[in-house]
Homo-oligomer: A and B are copies of this chain.
Amino acid sequence: METTRSPRLEEVALEAGVSTATVSRYLNSPERVALATRERIRVAVEAIGYLPNLNAGALAGNRSRLIAVLVPDIAQSIFNDTVEAMIDELARDGNSVVLALTGSDNRRLTAEIDMALARRVDAIILTGIVTEEAVRKRLEAASMTVIETWGLPENPIDVAVGFSHRAAGEELARFLRSRGYRKPHLVVPRSARSQRRASGFITRWVAEGGEEPTRLEVNVPSHFGQGRLSFRGLSELSERPDVVVCGSDWIAQGLIVEAHAAGIRVPDQLAVTGFGNLRLAGDMRPTITSVDIDGAHIAREVMRVLRARANNLEIEARIDVGFRIIARESA
């Protein structure tokens, strides 16, 4: 583990016969350095094998190029596509992502936010809406770029990039109604988002003359196994539903597998919808009708926000990326 200290900017400057200021400029905004000088520095950097010390840069420049991304989990997360797309985009711009896990625990959320602030990250990206008031306050007090994704609250802490879960629920209700279903049953994960969708669904469904749907709540994160359990729960209902609206594709998938095992044909005897349009939704047999959220789109909008902020430009506080119902075989 004994190493000679890694080369500093100064060594490069010496080698190239310029000042450290010029090398710094070359590294951060090459267009401000004359072409010939650029080349000399390039050669020097190469020769020395110089790698800048980003911590020093962050301190001096008050810009860390570090973005905190806070998610509940990654083992079983509907956000993974979005997070992956964001990390890709951010890396392309020379940023690094500090990924922090919050579970569904506000204490952990708070702790991770403090950590992010201590790191002086350039922005904090949250998946989901922050409901807890204390957390909101803390974030607002920091007066930094905070991006809430996947949700679209009335009053974002700073900026929100997402879609209306309520609208998604309503749209789904309309869709199923138009397909002639009569008796939906909702399987709703205990997250603010899912609850909102369910609420939208019910409102719309009833408004269109349907009778109040039955519902079952399940824990988050939702997973395949819950689908199976949910199916069993159906037998306890006084009347069997004709369509089960699941809070995630995993639940839908599990439910379909269990239905088949019980000899029930999907969608003939029981229709099913999922949410998230994970890859498996299109691969499942039958393919699963789902609601698609374009993670790459969210990532691009997040980048747009970040770039706007970097250039002191104005940006909308609420960016709607929408959603699409993907009609497939299961409903």
Contact = CB atoms under 8 A, between A and B. Distances in A.
A120 B54 contact: yes
Given A1-B143, A74-B74, A283 B228 contact: yes
Q: Which DSSP category, helix, strand, loop or mixed, fits chain A's interface?
A: helix
A225 interface: yes
Kindly report how many copies of this chain are found in the complex they form together.
2
Contact residues on A (Cβ < 8 Å of other chain), bracket: 35 or more
A92 B33 CA distance: 44
Contact of A97 (B99, B143, B144): B99
Interface stretch (A38-46, A165-173, A255-263): A255-263
Contact of A258 (B73, B250, B285): B285
Contacts of A54: 118-120
Contacts of A52: 118
Given A55-B55, A257-B284, A285-B258, A101 B91 contact: yes
Interface of A: 1-3, 51-56, 58-59, 64, 66, 73-76, 80-81, 83-84, 87-88, 91, 96-101, 111-112, 114-115, 117-120, 143-144, 223-225, 228, 250, 254, 257-258, 260-261, 279-280, 282-285, 309
Given A75-B84, A228-B285, 17 more contacts: A2-B143, A3-B143, A51-B117, A54-B120, A55-B64, A55-B119, A56-B59, A66-B98, A74-B80, A74-B83, A75-B80, A76-B279, A80-B80, A87-B100, A97-B98, A97-B99, A223-B283
